[in-house]
Amino acid sequence: MQYQRLRDLREDADLTQEQVAKVLYMLRSVYQRYESGKREIPFNIAIMLAKFYNVSLDYIAGFTNIKKPPLK
Protein backbone atom coordinates (compact mmCIF):
# COMPACT_ATOMS: atom_id res chain seq x y z
CA MET A 1 0.00 0.00 0.00
CA GLN A 2 1.06 3.53 -0.61
CA TYR A 3 0.55 5.03 2.82
CA GLN A 4 1.53 8.52 1.67
CA ARG A 5 -1.40 8.40 -0.72
CA LEU A 6 -3.81 8.06 2.18
CA ARG A 7 -2.40 11.17 3.77
CA ASP A 8 -2.43 13.06 0.47
CA LEU A 9 -6.05 12.10 -0.23
CA ARG A 10 -7.07 13.13 3.28
CA GLU A 11 -5.25 16.45 3.09
CA ASP A 12 -6.61 17.17 -0.42
CA ALA A 13 -10.09 16.70 1.04
CA ASP A 14 -9.23 19.05 3.94
CA LEU A 15 -10.00 16.35 6.50
CA THR A 16 -8.39 15.43 9.78
CA GLN A 17 -7.39 11.92 10.78
CA GLU A 18 -10.19 12.07 13.34
CA GLN A 19 -12.79 12.80 10.66
CA VAL A 20 -11.64 9.94 8.43
CA ALA A 21 -11.48 7.58 11.40
CA LYS A 22 -15.11 8.39 12.20
CA VAL A 23 -16.16 7.55 8.65
CA LEU A 24 -14.37 4.20 9.04
CA TYR A 25 -15.87 3.62 12.53
CA MET A 26 -12.49 3.35 14.23
CA LEU A 27 -10.27 5.23 16.63
CA ARG A 28 -8.01 7.95 15.25
CA SER A 29 -4.99 6.08 16.62
CA VAL A 30 -5.84 3.02 14.51
CA TYR A 31 -6.28 5.11 11.37
CA GLN A 32 -3.04 6.96 12.11
CA ARG A 33 -1.20 3.63 12.06
CA TYR A 34 -2.62 2.87 8.61
CA GLU A 35 -1.58 6.27 7.32
CA SER A 36 1.93 5.99 8.76
CA GLY A 37 2.46 2.45 7.49
CA LYS A 38 2.79 0.98 10.98
CA ARG A 39 -0.23 -1.24 10.41
CA GLU A 40 -1.37 -3.06 7.27
CA ILE A 41 -4.66 -1.81 5.86
CA PRO A 42 -7.31 -4.55 5.74
CA PHE A 43 -8.89 -5.05 2.33
CA ASN A 44 -12.36 -4.01 3.52
CA ILE A 45 -10.93 -0.73 4.86
CA ALA A 46 -9.09 -0.10 1.58
CA ILE A 47 -12.41 -0.58 -0.26
CA MET A 48 -14.14 1.88 2.09
CA LEU A 49 -11.37 4.43 1.54
CA ALA A 50 -11.52 4.02 -2.24
CA LYS A 51 -15.28 4.60 -2.19
CA PHE A 52 -14.98 7.51 0.24
CA TYR A 53 -12.35 9.32 -1.85
CA ASN A 54 -13.85 8.16 -5.16
CA VAL A 55 -10.59 6.64 -6.38
CA SER A 56 -9.61 3.17 -7.54
CA LEU A 57 -8.13 0.51 -5.29
CA ASP A 58 -5.21 0.39 -7.73
CA TYR A 59 -4.50 4.05 -6.96
CA ILE A 60 -4.58 3.49 -3.20
CA ALA A 61 -2.35 0.42 -3.58
CA GLY A 62 0.15 2.36 -5.71
CA PHE A 63 -0.31 0.29 -8.87
CA THR A 64 -1.26 3.37 -10.88
CA ASN A 65 -0.96 7.13 -10.63
CA ILE A 66 -4.40 7.58 -12.22
CA LYS A 67 -6.94 8.21 -9.50
CA LYS A 68 -9.93 6.99 -11.49
CA PRO A 69 -9.85 4.86 -14.63
CA PRO A 70 -11.70 6.36 -17.60
CA LEU A 71 -15.30 5.26 -18.01
CA LYS A 72 -15.85 2.76 -20.79
For 59, other C-beta atoms within 10 Å of its C-beta total 19
What DSSP character marks residue 26?
S
List, for residues 41-64, the tens digit of each pLDDT value: 999 999 999 999 999 999 999 999
Residue 3: the pLDDT is 86
Residues 66-71, mean pLDDT to the nearest whole number:
79
Enter the DSSP assignment of 65: S
Q: State the pLDDT confidence band at 72, using cuts at 50, 70 and 90.
A: low
Average pLDDT, the chain: 92
Report the pLDDT value the prediction gives residue 68, as an integer from 0 to 100: 84
Element housing 9 (H / E)? helix 3-12
